[in-house]
C-alpha cells in the first residue's frame, strides 16, 4: 500500500485510511484462508455471546463493510454500526443487512447517550485506533449497566501475525496487535474478562471438518498462538 493510502485521516481517529480499500475489503473472506478464519472466529464469538434476547441492541464500533454486523444481527441483536471511513459506511448500507443500520462516527467520541445499548462490540478495530483505551471507555459509556462488551483482536504472540508485522506490508504495517495479557488489562477496570483464542496456525491448515476440533484442543491446552483473541466482559 502506498504512503498516500496510509495517510492520517484524523489525528484522533484511525491510523489507516480504509476508504481506498472499501471496494475490495470483503474479497479476502472469499479466499480459502479468509473463509477458514471467518468460521473459527465466529465459532469463538458464538460461545461468548450466546443468543441475544428479542429487542437487545448492539453498538458495533469499526463496523467496516458490515461483515460482522450481519453476524451479530443473525444472533438477534439490533445493530448500530459506526465507522470513521465514509466509503465503508456506504458499502455497509448498500447491503441492506437486516437488523442493522450504519453511520459515520469516531469511536474515540461516540455520538450516543450514556447507557444506550444492551451490548457493544469491536472486531479488528482497536488495532487501528490511536487510543484503544479511549475507544473502550466510550463503548462502556454507551452500554447499559449489566450489558456486555465484546472485543475481537489480532494476537501479537501468534506466528502468523508476527509474520504479517515482519513483512511490514499493507494495513498491518502500522497496526497495533495485542497480547492476551494486554486485553485482560484493558478490560479489567470494567469487570473480569472472559478470553477465547482461536484460529491457531495448525487449525487453519486443516479441513473444515476437524479445524474447529483442533482449535478447541489447542485452546484447552492453553496455547498462546491463536491468531485471533475474542473477549467478553460483563459490565
Q: Give how many domains the chain has, as a whole number.
A: 1
How far apart are the C-alpha atoms of 153 and 177, rounded to whole Å?
7
Give me the residue label for grid cell 475490495. Answer: 24
User: Given this model, what pLDDT does residue 69 score?
Assistant: 97
| Within a domain: 3 | no
Neighbours of 78 (CB within 10 A): 18
| Within a domain: 91 | yes
Q: State the residue range of the domain holding 112.
A: 19-234
Dihedral Cα 75, 79, 82, 88, nearest 10 deg: 60
Dihedral Cα 211, 212, 213, 218, nearest 10 deg: 90
| Within a domain: 150 | yes
Average pLDDT, the chain: 90
How far apart are the C-alpha atoms of 100 and 119, rounded to whole Å?
14
pTM greater than the 0.75 cutoff: yes
% of the chain exceeding 90 in pLDDT: 66
Q: What is the pLDDT of residues 165-196, one digit of tens each?
A: 888 767 888 889 999 999 999 999 999 999 99
User: Given this model, what pLDDT does residue 6 score?
Assistant: 34
| Within a domain: 4 | no
| Within a domain: 9 | no
| Within a domain: 206 | yes
| Within a domain: 14 | no
Task: Assign residue 171 the CATH number of its domain.
Answer: 3.40.50.150
> What CA–CA distances, in Å, run from 53 to 4, 56, 73, 98, 197?
44, 6, 11, 16, 25
Amino acid at each position: 500500500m502506498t504512503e498516500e493510502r496510509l495517510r492520517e485521516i484524523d489525528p484522533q481517529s484511525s491510523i489507516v485510511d480504509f476508504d481506498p480499500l472499501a471496494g475490495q475489503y470483503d474479497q479476502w473472506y472469499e479466499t480459502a484462508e479468509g473463509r477458514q478464519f471467518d468460521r473459527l472466529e465466529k465459532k469463538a464469538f458464538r460461545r461468548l455471546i450466546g443468543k441475544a434476547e428479542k429487542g437487545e441492541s448492539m453498538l458495533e464500533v469499526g463496523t467496516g463493510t458490515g461483515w460482522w454486523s450481519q453476524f451479530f444481527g443473525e444472533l438477534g441483536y439490533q445493530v448500530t454500526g459506526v465507522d470513521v471511513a465514509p466509503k465503508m459506511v456506504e458499502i455497509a448500507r448498500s447491503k441492506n443487512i437486516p437488523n442493522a443500520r450504519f453511520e459515520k462516527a469516531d469511536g474515540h467520541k461516540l455520538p450516543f447517550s450514556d447507557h444506550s445499548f444492551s451490548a457493544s462490540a469491536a472486531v479488528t478495530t482497536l488495532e487501528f485506533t490511536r487510543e484503544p483505551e479511549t475507544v473502550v471507555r466510550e463503548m462502556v459509556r454507551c452500554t447499559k449497566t449489566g450489558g456486555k462488551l465484546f472485543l475481537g483482536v489480532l494476537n501479537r504472540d501468534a506466528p502468523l501475525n508476527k509474520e504479517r508485522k515482519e513483512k511490514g506490508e499493507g494495513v498491518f504495517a502500522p497496526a497495533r496487535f495485542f497480547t492476551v495479557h494486554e486485553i485482560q488489562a484493558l478490560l479489567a477496570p470494567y469487570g473480569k474478562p472472559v478470553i477465547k483464542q482461536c484460529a491457531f496456525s495448525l487449525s487453519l491448515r486443516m479441513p473444515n471438518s476437524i479445524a474447529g476440533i483442533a482449535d478447541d484442543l489447542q485452546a484447552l491446552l492453553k496455547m498462546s498462538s491463536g491468531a485471533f483473541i475474542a473477549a467478553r466482559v460483563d459490565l
